[in-house]
Amino acid sequence: MSTQDLIRQLREPNKTKIVLLVADGLGGLPIEPGGKTELETAVTPNLDAFAAEGTVGLSTPVAPGITPGSGPGHLGLFGYDPLVHDIGRGVLEALGIGVEVGPKDVAIRGNFCTIDAEGHVTDRRAGRIPTETCEALVAKLQAGIKIEGVEVLVEPVREYRLVVRFRGEGLGDRVCDTDPLSTGLLTLEPKGEDAASEKTAKIAAEFLRQAKAILKEEKPANFLMLRGFAKFPKIDTMEEVYGIKPVAIAVYPMYRGLARLVGMTVVEPGKTLADQIEVAKANWDAYDFFFIHYKYTDSTGEDGDFPRKVAMIEALDAEVRKLRALAPDVLIVTGDHSTPSRMRAHSFHPVPTLIWAPATSRPDLVTTFGERPCLQGGLGQFLAKDLMPLALAHAGRLQKFGA
């Protein structure tokens, strides 16, 4: 029996509220050996107060030593085993901007890029073109590309990113990316691993051939690359599994897509964390579970900007006190993975996690929120997929197991 099967048996209705605040890429590393991490460096009186009143620990997103992408990292936090539910990036990107993905569809994440006269990639992100330019180029592709036997949809996402959806009979999604992952190289030809996927690969090759002709005079976005070919997976919703009504308050498309994938209602979030908390307040009576996503702890880590990541943590801390005024029964603060500035990338390191539940918390001896304090916390080290059962238990939403 899986944990989700057990929860289906034990769940019971309640009017309690759970808030999951995900500071993307929260975990870090010291720049110098023996120094402090970004979270330990930041001045965080509000997070420290929640930690002192609650319980802390370290969560492992997928498995020890495994570096997660954002998709697996979030699925674990939502209580879905990332090793069982392998979700393609194309589906996540499509759902994030409200593109329907059905059983006959393959969704693909696209990147505009710059190539030279010989076809070598000179900029994998086309100079990070503004979203307005992306929208204009996508409109040209949508109007100009026609492929017999397949319905093609092209939609802009943000800056240089777009979504492509192929709809047709017998399509597979085991197709290699066309991004060579480095400049100075030719883009790759799409190739399928089985007959259905080879059919998709041939459609993708024709799509790229036509796209190159349409974009040849554009600067700097004169071509595009396709990544993350994916079909929609069968996955039970959070309401079906946990018996809760969840809402997602996330700014970036991918995280909105992840939320839709597990059946969350996605609402307009505003632009800042302050806006997001106001949206939570406005929707407080309509939902049981509030997923609030904060991106900037991740992007600053990927930029290798230690001081800026510290500043983003402090900015989060300044807003998180407002959640206390909402009086949630359970507040969880954690990340989907670690993004140390020192590494400029996601890492395998466990993520600081706190659970604040005034009625049920068993406080430990930790009074600050950071990697080393969390190592000493009462939650210990655990898999992220086990966080949802803890949240439900603290919220009084699980019955006793057995006689």
Separation CA 9–CA 4 (nearest Å)? 9
Tens of pLDDT along 95-107?
878 788 888 999 9
Tens of pLDDT along 77-87?
999 999 998 77
| Domain residue spans of the chain | 3-87+234-394, 92-230
Separation CA 224–CA 308 (nearest Å)? 31
Q: DSSP alpha helices (H): ranges in 216-269? A: 238-242, 253-261
CA within 13 Å, CB half, 262: 31
Separation CA 188–CA 176 (nearest Å)? 8
Angle at 188 between CA 176 and CA 105, to 5 degrees: 40
Q: Side chain identity at 322, as an amino acid letter? A: K
Architecture in CATH for domain 3-87+234-394: 3-Layer(aba) Sandwich (3.40)
Q: Quick check: 350 and 336 in contact, CB under 8 A? A: no
pLDDT in tens, the chain (403 residues): 889 999 999 999 999 999 999 999 999 999 988 899 999 999 999 999 999 999 999 999 999 999 998 889 999 999 999 999 877 889 888 887 878 888 899 999 999 999 999 999 999 999 999 999 999 999 999 999 999 999 999 999 989 999 999 999 999 999 999 999 999 999 999 999 999 999 999 999 999 999 999 999 999 999 999 999 999 888 899 999 999 999 999 998 878 888 988 999 999 999 999 999 999 999 999 999 999 999 999 999 999 999 999 999 999 999 999 999 999 999 999 999 999 999 999 999 999 999 999 999 998 999 999 999 999 999 999 999 999 999 999 999 999 998 8
